[in-house]
Amino acid sequence: MNSYEMTNMDNIYLDNNATTATDPEVVEAMIPYLQQAYGNASSVHSTGREAKVALESAREQVAAFIGCEPSEFYFTSGGTESDNIAVLGTAYHLRNRRDHLIVGATEHHAVLEPAEHLANREDFGLDILPVDGDGFASVADLEKLITPKTAIVSVMHGNNETGAIQDIAALADIARDKNVLFHTDAVQTCGKMPVDVRKLGVDMLSLTAHKVYGPKGIGGLFIRQGVKIAPLFYGGSHEKKRRPGTENVAGAVALAKTFGLAAARMEEDYARLTELADFFIEQVTAKIPDVSLNGPRTNRVPQTVNLSFMGIEGESIVLSLDLEGIACSSGSACTSGATGPSHVLAAMDKPPMAAQGAVRFSMGHATTQKDLEYVIEKLPPIIGRLREMSPLYSSSK
């Protein structure tokens, strides 16, 4: 059995953008720092020093993976915290000189909501960088929005709903020319494709473990040397006072192991998942009428396929597939309780009916063509049944 395969063999899991199963090798790497070498990395005794060595070794490994110096990498609880530290920390540090920020229209809420808080409660100016129909932002639009008061620009590397990969290097280059800090959320790309902070030209970058077969609750933030941010938390000197709190040593070790495994498997996985995604898109669109792909066909995080089924609710499709043992989603897991269509698809100017009927299928290391063939078998009758009951579909014909 592949180490990633689900324990429930009847379940086909196509929600890997929400989270992934933790690789057994990662779990194994964590165990010693939960049971034997469990010391506090800030303690001066031998047990603490052992934990400190493991923590700094993990920092060095993750830093090497993303192309930065160990001193530029900070452990956090995950992507949401990293995004908040980057956006809020920069804004608070620069607020007396620069009180304007720019964020992408299709950002994760971990960037959008801190930005909206700054605009609504802290009197910051906020501009939203628009995207085209495939979800891409343009250099020209960013140039128009940057002002002498802009403190930070934040644009996601790979979108969590559509997989669209932004040209971060080009966007960051514009910000650098204007002496504006640039942050990118690389939660959906780091570990799935090469991510090098120097080549991207970013000042800050967020990442996490649980999207690439690591555990939940551990992530990190790259902060380029020389960049200053205000702390959001107080209570200790950990992580150079930028993220105080007793370090999650086992989590740090897991993060390093996660990316170590990703480095060895990345090229093969990328090619295989690209082939599977193309197969899935072609088969579904051939067998079911009135289906459209949301996001680009190429230049996409390969395992992400977002399809709109006209005339029906995406959530109804998700629930119907779940009864057939297929797990997928109707959008970001972080907004599962939200009402209304996805803000990502709305920003891409998708019609409301198409946005309401969107379903995200996100594949993983364990996904096989046989899995997808099963989904393709079950999906047409589900769509047919739901459309028969839908007045929206009949009225759109």
349 burial via Cβ count (<10 Å: 0-12, 13-18, 19+): exposed
Of the candidates 26, 17, 16, the one whose C-alpha atom is nearest the C-alpha of residue 61 is 26
Cα–Cα distance between 41 and 48 in angstroms, integer? Answer: 5
In sequence order, the β-bridge partners of residue 127 are 102
**How many residues are recorded in the chain?**
397
Cα–Cα distance between 309 and 285 in angstroms, integer? Answer: 10
Those residues with Cβ within 8 angstroms of residue 342's Cβ, 6 or more apart along the chain or in another chain: 161, 331, 332, 335, 355, 358
| Per annotation, catalytic residue among 68, 190, 328, 334 | 334
- How many C-beta neighbours within 10 Å does residue 200 have? 23
DSSP helix/strand/coil, 156: coil
Amino acid, res. 75: F
> Any idea of the CA torsion for 210, 276, 137, 175, to the nearest 10 degrees?
50
63 half-sphere exposure, CB direction, 13 A CA radius: 17
Is residue 190 flagged as an active site residue?
no
Query: Tokens 């067998």 label which residue?
Result: 287
62 half-sphere exposure, CB direction, 13 A CA radius: 32
Catalytically active residues are: 334
